[in-house]
Structure 1
Amino acid sequence: MPRKTRTPSSKDKAGRDGAAAHPLSDALGHEFKNAALLSEALTHMSMAPEGGQGSYERLEFLGDRVLGLIIADVLIKTYPQEREGDLAVRFNALVRAETCEQVAQEAGLGKHIEMSSGEARAGGRKHATILADVCEAVIGALYLDGGLEVAERFIRRYWEPKLSLNLKPPRDSKTVLQEWAQAHGLGLPSYELLKRKGPDHAPTFDVEVAVEGRKPAKGIGSSKRAAEQAAAETLLKREGLTSDE
């Protein structure tokens, strides 16, 4: 009696092919062998059980470290004559949340994030912090699925164009404000957290910066650091300065 050939079910195909056909494969430059890794990297806490298990948090933790290692290596090779201090400024600009958010937008990650309908209606797919976190989680997933080479390929694809845009070490607003204040004998700027609002996974921070003899300035951001930068930038603009000067 001839042996019956079983037609593969969709579940069989998913298990065999993983995320090979995932619409993000081209943007990521990688076809996942383990589909669960990419799924986890794209799962918001609102879709995970209590405690966040199964969301992107753990992969974000790993991806942050992988990103830092690769960016540090790229900078050392790209700027062999630059001092550690200048390399550190470049590094901070490239690994900060704002840059990760920009990469997430360029790669089109937002529309693929799994989140609750309420979170989606609140604009979660476009929220700066969520996009930055998912970007790092995807890097972590790429590393686990394909190794350092695969993660590096993705990072170089999206970060190297940003290297060429920063031909001189960028200076952030907090650093410029501090240098300006000290140069004028005003002491160090002081930052105060005025308010923290929003849910734990998507908070908003209101910060005020004060410099001796000057009216305080306020800033809002998706992280305390971002809010401090915004406040410093506001005060600098009031004094007729920018972070590029």
Structure 2
Amino acid sequence: MLVPHASIYLVLIFFTFLMHLAACQEIINTLPPELENVTFSGLLVVSVSPCSKTCGLGWRSEYYCKVSKKGYVSNCTSTNALCLINQDCGLIAKTTTVGATLSISCLDATIKTLGSSDFIFVWKIARGIVTTDLYLFKIFPLKGSKTPWMIIVKNAKEKHAGTYMCQVQNSKTMQVVKRVLIGVRIIPENLVQLNYYEVLSSEQKEEMEILQGNPVAKKKGKSFWDKVKDLFKSANMAIRVIAIGLAIGGSLAFGFGAIFLCMTNK
């Protein structure tokens, strides 16, 4: 059972707690007198353009405006800022012949603008295969190279084939900002014919000469037998065999027929 005046004490304590809470709220919501006329402002990003690259470092435009305490916008400016969506740039294929100079690079316009000295270029290689498995790569050392973003191999051989990986890191934060794979295939020079003009037909060569503005001599019309020869050359092997068989069969039939007529006339 409560003491007779206990309820009164409880009411007084609760009322004192409410008064203290109201005083604290007033202190929180009230600025000091010396700060009542001060305007607080800041910069707010209004809009941002898409990044110029889908992999590696790129640029984007950021539109800033100054916002006052009352919400007024002024002094809007636009500035360029670095952006990074994805550090992996995938696989690029490159083919060259034995004996040629192999040159591969991972330097782009953004890194060149910022300064290549601000970045570290780490090269790795998976010899003999074209792959994207990072566990198969080993360090490819570049000793004393003045262009660490580029690999140059003079007189390339088949042993230089494989997948080269270039990893670009920020020299201050060591953050990887770009990783590109270059699959290099090196084939013998006599394996393929790279002279495009030689594989063209006479009609295609004539069209190319006309497009280049060179005079082309008019050719005489082909005779009937020339057209037959061209038709015979353009036909496949089965049609050729059938045509040859018909020709031989017709000749034999004509010969035997002539002999038979001569014998019957006698």
| Pairwise TM-score range, normalised by the shorter structure | under 0.3
When normalised by structure 1's length, the TM-score is 0.19
When normalised by structure 2's length, the TM-score is 0.18
Higher RCO (CA 8 Å, separation ≥ 6 residues): 1
Say which structure is richer in helix. Answer: 1
Say which structure is richer in strand. Answer: 2
Q: Give 1 or 2 for the bigger CA radius of gyration.
A: 2
